[in-house]
Structure formats: structure tokens, C-alpha cells
Structure 1
Amino acid sequence: MNTKFYFDQTDLFPYEPIHPKYMFTYILLSCMFFTYCNQKIHHKKSNWLQQNTLLSFIHASICSVLLIVGVLQATEMFEDPLSHANHFNYTLLAFSVGYFLYDFVDCVQNSTTSIVPILIHHITVIVFFSHVLYYTRNIGYAIYGLSLEINSVFLHARRLVRWYSPFSKTVQFQNFLKIFIDIGNYMTFVFFRFGIVIAGLRALHREGFRLNPIVKYFTVLITMAMGVFNLILFYRLVKNQLFGKQSKRQEPSEDDVLVVDNRVLLPS
């Protein structure tokens, strides 16, 4: 009888590492997918920011659906997110790393504004998720952090609705759509962005001894940084909601407010 190997004696699930070749394969396929999407949605009337936001919306939407599927088909993950791992969630994390790599290159090549915060965010996410994938360890908590993409769907939709024509041009439908997006935005912001930070810090306090010290302190740092960014973004959203519609000339400032979106907020 084969003896099950556990990475740590406190682990609930046996350690079953996935070969890194799958990580590199899935990341490459993800980069190719978003490159293809970029070519297909390219429109002469759209500027780079609009196209980049649309791709971010596509990534967030796909992630949101797959996250729900991943959680429902492996609810035992909640029993021990640190040691739990399966190929589906592994692939989802690699898919997101591929997107962040693609977006990193896209921002460097095409952005005309300061992108230092975005690049720092992308590098940190890529390093953190790649470490998780390489060692097949801490996948559950990485999935927790990635769940903030559910809020990113509403953040991006808020901008896209202003840039592109809705399905119906009736005033009633447009008002309903904006109200729906605003309600979804604030509800998912509180639950997934603030909630994930609280859950992450609580888990680090309770189970930090199970992590490598370097990984532990790195994770504490990025989780606290995400909390600060969340507070700043939430303040700007509320401020814009209350005072950002004073005049049509001031309307473009809403784009500047939302530049600090999910790409600047690091998953825990």
C-alpha cells in the first residue's frame, strides 16, 4: 500500500504536485488567446484604453464564471485551502498569469500615461501566482484572491457602458443598466475586495506557521497593500458617484478615477 505524502504534518490533503510543464503550457496558451482576442476586437474608432479595458472585462468575466464552477465542483477546498489542489483551479490560475503577462507587454508597448503602478502590480501577481503554481501549494488561497475579479466585471462594465452603445437605447433601459451595475459594483466590492483582505489576514494570523517565512511575510505585505489600494479605490468611486456628474466637461475624469482598477489591486 502506498503511503500518502503530506507537505506539512498539519495538511488535511495529501501533497500531489502538478508538473511545471503544465504551468508553462497553460500560460502560453492564455497569452495566445488574449493576443487573438485583441486582434478580433480591434476597431479603428476605439482607442487603446477602451480596447485594453474590454480585454480586462473579458478576462474578469471568464475568471468569474470559472471561479464559481471551480468552487462548486470542489467545495472541500474550504476545509484546507493551503493544501488543497486540483487541476481545474491550477489551470485557472495559470490562465490569469497568462493574461497578466499579455497585459504587461500591452501596457509597455501602447500606454501613453504613467503605468508604473500597473507594472508593479503585474510583476507581483505573476511572481506570486507562479510560485503557487510551481510548487502546487497555496492554490486555495490564491483562488480566494482571484475572486476579486468578480468585482472587476462591474468595475469594467461601468466604463464600457459609457463608451459603447447598450443593447437598447431607451432611456429606461440605460438607467436600469447603470443602476444594476452600480449596485453590483458596490456589493461585490465590499464582499470580494474588503472581504478577501480580511479573510487573507485572518488566515495568515491563524496558519502563518505553515508557510515558509519569506512567503509568509511577502503575502502579508501584498495583502496589506491590497487593503490600502481598495480603500483608495472605494473612496474615489464614492466621490465620483456623488460629485462626478456636475458637468459633461468633467465626465472624462471618471476614466482617470478608474485607472486604478483590478490591475493595481493584488490578489492575496
Structure 2
Amino acid sequence: MAIEHERFDNFDHLEPIPYQYGIVVTGCTMVAFFALNRFVYYMGPPKHVAVKDSWKWRNLFGSWFHALIIGSWDISCFLMFPDMVVDLVGYHDMYSYTMIAVTTGYFFYDFVDIVISGRTRTSWEVLLHHVVVAGTFFYNLILCRCIAYTAVALLAEVNSFFLHSRKLMQMLQIRFDAPLYRLNVYLNLLSFILCRFIPLIWIIYGMLMWYYRVEPSYLIILSLDLFVMWVVNIVLFWRLLTNDIIRPTKTKSPAPKQQNGLEITANNNKSHEKLNYNCNGSYANHNSCSRDHINISDYQLRDKLINNHVSNGFKPKLS
């Protein structure tokens, strides 16, 4: 069995990268993301983002920026250093090592940002994720081990770019049926399969093949991490599939209706819209029409369109 284990080219002979370098890069990355956070704060949120959501906008923008940088960086690692797939346990290079130090610094930053913002209770699952992931990554940096496997895990950031783009577009109130949003929907689902599920399968295969090259305690922790990631990713993928594909297909918008010479269109998605108007007075006195309850999402009519209809004597009531 030992002979079978040696039937591959390993890179255990490579000189390890000093862990001090990884610590410095991790710390500098934390400072850089805090600086980015302050920059976005002073720039202010877009006009479509409510003031109460300004922190959410800054945090989400930082996550999106991290996914853009690390996702592109990670792909370039495999293109520039194809030998890393030969030995995902022992292989390492300065380029990939630096990338992992940068992403570790980001996770530490995001953890601190959530805590100091007072959102520990509402974001506990994110904090747990950061502790597990950043802890494992930092351990790999110190030992300079499993660097290539960490790069495989970071392929998930390619999908995170589209995942965060989806949320940013929702905050910017981009219509659900807009071409850009729909394109992101399909790229998000496709990259979810290619960059989350397949890398997880790849890592499990490596654990079964090269388990003897890592410490048993590390193998146990990694197994628990993978179990959690599988559960989280399956649930997340199903939610995305339901909200972006299945539900819109079942609740298509009705054909435009003509009333009083006006063409009225509305999304018939009951889970996203609840629009009620209660108007008193005559048609001529449209100023007496008061809006009792409005809860508008990306899929509803804009206030401007509705106000135009009311001013022309039309009293809409959707529920």
C-alpha cells in the first residue's frame, strides 16, 4: 500500500515560505479593507439605498470587491502554475500563498466589522463561517501546507462574485426581469455548480487519497468543515433556484390590461408585492386619495407610475 502512495510526483521537497510573511500580508489586508470601508462610507450609499442600510451596503460592497479580486486571482493561479494540481498537499508558490494570506486577512476583517457594528446576533452564522474558514486557512499558512487545496476551496469566490452582485442589484432596485439581472441569475447558478459543488467533490477525493499526508486531527476538523459546507451550499442553491427560477416561472406577470385608456402592468408574484390604496373623494379631487399601506419590492410598479394613474382618475388596487 505504501508503494501505491508513492506513485505520484510530490512537492514535499519545496522550501516552506516563512510564516512571518503570511502574518504580515494578513494584517496589511485587514488594514486595507478597513480603509476601503471608510472610503465607501464617505462616498455614501447610492440614492436607492436607504440610510438604515448604509452599513449593509458597505459590507456587501467589500465582500463583492473581495470576491472579484480573489476569484480572478485564484483562476490565474491554476493557469500560471498547472503543477499545483499534481500535488495539492505539498505544492506551494509565493503567488498562491500571498492570495491565501490576503483572503484570510479579509475574513478576519469582516469578522471584526460585524462584531463592532453590533450585528453579532443577526450574523452569527457568518461569524461561525469566518472562524472555521479563516482558522483553517491561517493554519495552512503557518505550516505552508495544503496551499493548493486552499486554492481549490477559494474557487467558491468566483461564484461569490455573482452571488454578491445579485444582492447589490436588489439593493439598487434593478428590476427582476432586467437583462443584466437575468444574466447574473444564470451565471450565478452555473458558477455555483462549477465553483462550489465540484471543488467540494475534488477536496473529498483528495482526503480519501492522501489522508496519510496530514495529521489525523486536521483530517477530522476538515471533515466537519466539509459536512457543514455541503449542507449550507445545498440549502443556498435550493433557495436561489426557487427564488430566481422556479417561482418566477410559476408566477408570470399577467397580460397588460386597458382601463380608462391606460395600460397597466404588474408582477403577479404574491410573495413580493402587497400594494393597497384606499382613496376617498371624487376623481376630480385626487389630492384626497391617501396611501394607507405600501410595501414595494423590485417587482412592483414604481410610485411615479402609480401617482400618474391616480392623477388621471384611476384608482388601482392590487393585493
- TM tier, shorter chain? 0.7 to 0.9
Pick the aligned partner of 1:106 from 87, 96, 113: 113
Find the partner of 1:248 among 261, 273, 287.
273
The correspondence for 2:178, drawn from 175, 184, 194, is 175
Match of 1:259 in 2: none
Find 2:224's aligned residue among 221, 225, 232: 221
Q: CA deviation at 1:218?
A: 1.0
Match of 2:86 in 1: 79
TM-score between both structures, scaled by the size of structure 1:
0.83
- Residue identity in the other structure for 1:133: L
Aligned to 2:135: 127
Q: 1:12 aligns with which of 10, 14, 17?
A: 10
Offset of residue 69 of structure 1: 1.7
Indicate the residue corresponding to 2:98 in structure 1.
91
User: What is the CA-CA distance between 1:67 and the residue it aligns to?
Assistant: 0.9
Aligned to 1:24: 23
**Displacement of 1:219 after TM fit?**
0.9
Percentage identity across aligned positions? Answer: 27
**Unpaired runs of at least 5, structure 2:** 46-50, 249-268, 275-294, 299-319
Deviations 1:197-237 (A, max 9, x none): 11111111111111110111111111121011111111111
Counterpart of 1:258?
none
Unaligned runs of 5+ in 1: 1-7, 254-268
1:144 corresponds to which of 144, 147, 152 = 152
Q: Does 1:65 align with 2:68?
A: no
The one-letter code matched in structure 2 to 1:183 is Y
**Structure 1 equivalent of residue 35 of structure 2:** 36
Aligned residue for 1:257? none
Q: Secondary structure at the match of 1:47?
A: helix
How far off its partner does 1:91 sit?
0.5
* 1:11–1:83 contact (8 Å) kept in structure 2: no
In the alignment, the residues of structure 2 paired with residue 210 and residue 53 of structure 1 have an alpha-carbon distance, to the nearest angstrom, of 38
**Alignment pair present for 1:237 and 2:235:** no
Shift of the 137–177 alpha-carbon distance from structure 1 to 2, 3 Å rule, reads same
Question: Within 1, Cα distance between the matches of 2:25 and 2:124?
Answer: 27
Contact 1:67-1:147 at 8 Å conserved across structures: yes
Specify which of 139, 154, 167 is matched with residue 159 of structure 1: 167
Change (3 A) 1:251 1:73: farther
Shift of 1:11: 6.2
TM-aligned CA deviation for residue 102 of structure 1: 0.6
Separation (CA, whole Å) in 2 of partners of 1:21 and 1:56: 26
Distance 1:49 1:111 in 2: 12
| TM-score, normalization by structure 2 | 0.70
Match of 2:202 in 1: 199
Give deviations 1:108-137, integer Å, cap 9, x for gaps.
Answer: 111545222111111111210111000111
The one-letter amino acid of 1:122's match is H
Computing the radius of gyration over CA atoms, which structure comes out larger, 1 or 2? 2
User: Deviation string for 1:138-179 (max 9, x for gaps)?
Assistant: 00001000110000000000011122377xxxx8x9722012
**Residues of 1 paired with 2:187 and 2:112: CA distance?**
31
Please tell me whether the aligned partners of residues 60 and 153 of structure 1 are also in contact (alpha carbons under 8 angstroms).
yes
Letter matched to residue 56 of structure 2: L
Relative to its length, the structure with more strand (as a share) is 2
Change (3 A) 1:217 1:162: same
Q: List per-residue Cα deviations over 1:220-267 (Å, max 9, x = no partner).
A: 1111210111111111112222337433358779xxxxxxxxxxxxxx
Aligned residues: 241
User: 2:317 — aligned with what?
Assistant: none
Cα distance in 1, alignment partners of residues 228 and 131 from structure 2? 14
Which aligned runs of 4 or more in structure 1 are off by greater than 4 angstroms? Answer: 8-11, 249-253
State the one-letter code of the partner of 2:237. Answer: F
Cα separation, 2, equivalents of 1:178 and 1:48: 23
8 A contact 1:158–1:182 mirrored in 2? yes
Report the residue type matching 2:211 in the other structure.
Answer: G
